[in-house]
A and B are shown apart, each in its own frame.
Chain A
């Protein structure tokens, strides 16, 4: 298996623009997680899905952030409008079941200028 796939790997955008991050989980995994990592705050859970349904989005910082999972093999995290403080590395992870190991993707490094 290719593991969790994320795209793009790097994204540089200007403040106010819309940003869409993409994730393809490992086939057969029922759980998908979006995380954000910064030097100041470390890794933080933003939202997670179970069987394509959002279960907990309490970590989403504000309404500018939204996430979807239209099918079992694809998820997006959208930021609209983007701000400089959104600059971070965004990770997607998937897991085969509750309490199981999470497999992380390589991350998307987002820079908002």
Chain B
């Protein structure tokens, strides 16, 4: 069964600190892996998209890694800001963008 599991479920960190969110998947076939940020009351916004051959991709203070052999990905947030408080969703694309499998998300709260 195609599944995407994320950990932790929730996380609280102090402003300025770094954090890493984890994603494990069993989706097959694999096309690409995406990380989305979803602010409360809004739609998800794409942070990164990585294909099978990409090991890492950055978007500002967000850096995603992918190990296609172990089927694991991580999202590292550097020097967190209050505006980073959101749900971060790991998504695996098994059909070139048309059949996305969503993880349950990690809720991040950054406090001052």
Contacts and interface: CB of A to CB of B under 8 A. Distances in A.
B43 A105 contact: yes
Contacts of A62: none
A81 B31 CA distance: 37
B46 interface: yes
A43 B102 contact: yes
B53 to A, nearest CB: 14
A2 B97 CA distance: 22
Contact of A99 (B41, B42, B97, B105): B97
Interface residues of A, number: 23
Interface residues of B, number: 21
B52 interface: no
Contact of B99 (A56, A95, A97, A105): A56
A78 to B, nearest CB: 20
Nearest to B48: A101
B97 A44 contact: no
Contact of A101 (B41, B49, B96): B49
Interface of B: 31-32, 34, 41-46, 49, 89, 93, 96-100, 102-105
